[in-house]
Amino acid sequence: MEVQHKAGFVNIFGPPNAGKSTLLNALLGERLAIVSPKVQTTRHRILGILTEPGYQIIFSDTPGIIDPQYKLHNKMMQQVRSAVEDADVALLMADITDDPDSFASVIASLQLKTKKILLLNKIDLIADKEQQAAMVKAFEDKIHPEKTMVVSALKKINTKKIIPAILKLLPEGPPFYPDEDISDRPMRFFVSEMVREKIYSLYDQEIPYHTAVLVQTYEELPHVTRILADIIVTRETQKMILLGTGGSMIKKLGMQARESIEKFLDKKVYLELFIKVRPKWRENDNYLKEYGY
Ligand SMILES: Nc1nc2c(ncn2[C@@H]2O[C@H](COP(=O)(O)OP(=O)(O)OP(=O)(O)O)[C@@H](O)[C@H]2O)c(=O)[nH]1
Ligand SMILES: [Mg+2]
C-alpha cells in the first residue's frame, strides 16, 4: 500500500500559563513563541509550521482561555475561536497540578468538534507516579480524549512522542505551505514579541498587561538591522516605571531585547525604544487594530 502524505492544522488550547507556547517551541525546535511565568503572555494565534518527509503539521499556539475583561481580551479570544474552527487535531494542554474540573469547563466552552489529545504538562512537578496516575484519571474522566500523554514541555519529557501520536490522527493531503516557511508572521511581529517578552520578565504588576509594542521601522542595512519600536502604555505613571530611575530600566530592557533579537535573526541589531502614552488603548478599536490585535 502506498504511504500517503499527511497535512493538517494542529491547534494548542488551554488555560493561561499551562505551557502552550513552551510546547510549540519544543515541537518546532525553534523559539517562535514568547514565554513567561506570568499569565496571558500570548495574545495572538501564532502558526508554527513543521515540514518533514511525508507530512506537514501546521501548529497553532493560542492565547490562554479567559473570561474577557476588556476589548483586548475579546480580540484574544477571537484568535482562539479561529483556531477552534480550523483544527484537524486539538492539543488540549493542562498543568497537571491544576484542577481538572475548572480545566474541563474551560475546554467545554470551546465546543470543539475535532479529535483531541490531552497533554498533561509539568509532570516534572509531580515526582510520585501514583499521584500522576490519579491526576491522569481525574482529567481523562472529564475530557474523554482520543489519547492522553503526560509531558514536560520545559524539561522535554515525552515531547518526542507527541508527533507520532498526532500523525495517527492527521488527515491525508498535500502540504499547505512551502517547505521553507516556519510561520505566517512577519519578522516585525517576532521582534515586537521579543520586546514584549522582556517587558513581562522585567516589570511587575499591571505593567505587562497595559503594554503593547509596535515596530515602526525595520531596516536591513549592510552591517546591521535597524529597528525602531514604540512601547505603548495607558498612563504617564507607567511610562515613568518603564523608564526607571535615570532611564536605567528602559536601558536594561533595550539591551536584553536586542540580545534576543540578535540571536533570533543571527544578525547585529540596532534597537531604539520609544514610550508612548495612549489612554485606554486596550478598549479602543482603532488602537487595537494599529497594534496588530
Ligand atoms: N515546571 C515546568 N514549568 C513549565 C513547563 N512548561 C512550561 N512551564 C513554565 O510555565 C510558564 C508558562 O509557560 P508558557 O509557555 O508561557 O504558558 P502558556 O500556556 O503559553 O501561557 P499563556 O500564553 O499566558 O496562555 C513558564 O514559566 C514556563 O517556563 C513544564 O513542563 N514544567
Ligand atoms: Mg503562551
Whether 208 shows a pLDDT value over 60: the answer reads: yes
| Alpha-carbon gap, residue 178 to 62, rounded angstroms | 22
Closest CA to 153 of 64, 93, 66, 84: 93
| 42-67 pLDDT, tens digit each | 999 999 999 999 999 999 999 999 99
Residue 80 Cα, ligand 2 centroid: separation in angstroms? 12
Whether 285 shows a pLDDT value over 90: the answer reads: yes
Averaged confidence pLDDT in the chain: 97
Q: Which residue in this structure is represented by grid cell 514584549?
A: 196
Whether 281 shows a pLDDT value over 90: the answer reads: yes
Closest-CA residue, ligand 1 atom 7, reads: 19
**DSSP type of residue 157:** B
Whether 197 shows a pLDDT value over 60: the answer reads: yes
- Binding-site residues, ligand 1, Cβ < 6 A: 14, 16-22, 35-37, 39-42, 63-64, 121-122, 124-125, 152-155
% of the chain beyond a pLDDT of 70: 99
pLDDT for res 3: 73
CA-to-CA dists, residue 105 to 39, 46, 102, 261, angstroms: 18, 24, 5, 38
Where residue 19 falls among pLDDT bands split at 50, 70, 90? Answer: very high
pLDDT for res 267: 95
pLDDT for res 49: 98
Whether 1 shows a pLDDT value over 90: the answer reads: no
CA-to-CA dists, residue 102 to 108, 109, 234, 265, angstroms: 10, 11, 32, 40
- Alpha-helix runs per DSSP H in 3-157: 20-28, 71-86, 100-108, 129-143
Residue 48 Cα, ligand 2 centroid: separation in angstroms? 13
For range 15-33, the mean pLDDT? 97
Task: Name 219's Cβ contacts closer than 8 Å, sequence gap at least 6.
Answer: 225, 226, 227
**Best residue among 12, 21, 22 to mutate for probing ligand 1, ranked by most atoms within 8 Å of CB:** 22
Residue 246 Cα, ligand 2 centroid: separation in angstroms? 32
What's at 288, amino acid-wise? L
For range 209-234, the mean pLDDT? 97
Whether 2 shows a pLDDT value over 80: the answer reads: no
**Best residue among 28, 32, 35, 65 to mutate for probing ligand 1, ranked by most atoms within 8 Å of CB:** 35
